[in-house]
């Protein structure tokens, strides 16, 4: 699933604008440009396995009450930070929809093991020939 395909219902979202930190001069001190986006994950109607993956991906961004909190303060304008927060949220939810392929444990074949041992023995012979030469 691509981030563009993720639908975030407006009733599940709440936005709050905060004073940003970092460089920006008086703009930082006067204007609340950082965007804190909260999403009620239970209202998204995700399948249980997708919800579990989202919890793992979100980590500490997920509250006990099932809210996912994203704070965007990368840009100097409210609108840019708002779009950034929504894009990051959509990316996180899209990543949760991706099912990882199960790893199947494999064993090397008997022929592969024998070839490996033969190669090691051959290298040992080569290295043994590099020893000190005696003039007896």
pLDDT digits (tens, 9 = 90+) for 61-109: 888 888 889 888 888 888 888 899 988 988 888 888 888 889 899 999 9
Name the range with the highest mean pLDDT among 15-29, 61-75, 114-128.
Answer: 114-128
Question: Does position 41 have pLDDT exceeding 90, yes or no?
Answer: no
pLDDT of residue 48: 87
pLDDT at residue 8, as a whole number: 73
Domain 3-97: state its class. Answer: alpha beta
Q: How far is CA 12 from the centre of its chain?
A: 23
What pLDDT, on the 0 to 100 scale, is given for residue 76? 81
- Residues 30-59: b if buried by 16+ CB within 10 A, e if exposed: eeebbbbbbbbbeebebeeebeebbeebbe
**Higher-pLDDT residue of 124, 65:** 124
Percentage above 70 pLDDT, the chain = 90
- The mean pLDDT value of the chain amounts to 85
Neighbours of 84 (CB within 10 A): 17
Indicate if the pLDDT at residue 112 is higher than 70.
Answer: yes
| Per-residue pLDDT, 117 | 97
């Amino acid at each position: 699933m691509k981030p563009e395909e993720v639908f975030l219902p407006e009733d599940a979202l709440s936005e709050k604008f905060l004073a940003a930190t970092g460089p920006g001069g008086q703009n930082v001190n006067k204007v609340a440009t950082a965007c804190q986006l909260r999403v009620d994950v239970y209202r998204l109607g995700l399948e249980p396995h997708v919800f579990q993956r989202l919890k793992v991906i979100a980590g500490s961004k997920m509250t006990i009450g099932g809210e996912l909190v994203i704070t965007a303060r990368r840009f100097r304008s409210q609108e840019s930070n708002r779009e950034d927060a929504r894009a990051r949220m959509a990316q996180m939810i899209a990543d949760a929809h991706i099912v990882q392929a199960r790893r199947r444990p494999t064993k090397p074949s008997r022929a592969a093991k024998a070839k490996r041992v033969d190669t090691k023995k051959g290298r040992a012979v080569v290295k043994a020939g590099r020893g000190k030469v005696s003039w007896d």
